Structure 1
């Protein structure tokens, strides 16, 4: 089973990388970009075949390692 984890900063947490991207886009002539939030995508290949067990396993991974839950939020997609 494959899992995708999208990790982004929580609303209200400053995103200096997103701001740098926004500024660079403006400098390259891409007008009208008011804000950019960037994050990370983590793809996992799991041996687990039960969707509920796989989601529980991935959420545990996020809570322990993949996301800093103090400042980040995450979503899990299974396929």
Structure 2
């Protein structure tokens, strides 16, 4: 069994209101020096067997078709 992590983030040109809200709250809470905050999603998938090239391609397809919106989001697949 292997664990695969899919990180999904808004594309840089897409406005991130949640990230801006967190960024605005940090100084009010006494935290300085954070230039930008972007909010994203993380998915952890446990898959049977080894992660072969074929399985990895399938996981990329899952990330593209189900876990992200490729119009406004980018994703990365990491095998843990």
**TM-score (normalised: structure 2):** 0.90
Pairwise CA distance, 1:32: 2.0
**TM-score (normalised: structure 1):** 0.91
CA distance in structure 1 between the partners assigned to 2:15 and 2:58 by the alignment: 30
The within-5 A match list for 1:54-73 is 54-73=55-74
After superposition, the CA RMSD in angstroms is 1.2
Pairwise CA distance, 1:48: 4.2
Using a 3 Å threshold, how does the CA distance of structure 1 residues 67 and 48 change in structure 2: closer, same or farther?
Answer: farther
In structure 2, runs of 5+ residues without a counterpart are: none
Q: How many residues matched?
A: 79
CA distance in structure 1 between the partners assigned to 2:45 and 2:31 by the alignment: 34
CA distance in structure 2 between the partners assigned to 1:13 and 1:44 by the alignment: 27
The within-5 A match list for 1:46-57 is 46-57=47-58
Structure 1 stretches of at least 4 aligned residues deviating more than 3 Å after TM superposition: none
